[in-house]
Amino acid sequence: MNQTIEELTQELRQELIKQLNLEDMIPADFDENTPLFGEGLGLDSIDSLELVVLLDRNYGIKLKDPKEGRQVFHSIRTMAEYIQKNRAQV
């Protein structure tokens, strides 16, 4: 199943809201380029662990290098692009 970047970004928005308990947000509240950490969504290190688990569980991707994680988790768009390139072929 090959998803487009747009389909992946929409799916990731919904997954982030569910996985990180952002109940007061809807996918339309942030766009694909909103930074996930810092001034954007303001996620923290615990949230980054949740994102690592999400990548592994949903997409078969294991992140081993924390520096790589910082780049991958910059925004929904960077996550979607990384998933598209590295997803385990089912």
> For position 35, what pLDDT does the model report?
94
Percent helix / strand / coil, the chain, rounded to 5: 55, 5, 40
Print pLDDT tens along the chain (90 aa). Answer: 578 999 999 999 999 999 999 889 988 888 899 999 998 899 998 999 999 999 999 999 999 887 888 899 999 999 999 999 998 665
Q: List all residues 6 or more positions away from 1 whose beta carbon is below 8 Å from its beta carbon.
A: 90
> For position 66, what pLDDT does the model report?
75
Name the pTM for this structure: 0.88
Q: Which domains does the chain have, with CATH numbers?
A: 5-23+31-86 (1.10.1200.10)
Which tens digit of pLDDT belongs to each residue from 44-69? 989 999 999 999 999 999 998 878 88
Residue 53 burial (C-beta neighbours within 10 Å; 0-12, 13-18, 19+): exposed
Q: CA 56 to CA 51: how far, in whole Å?
A: 9
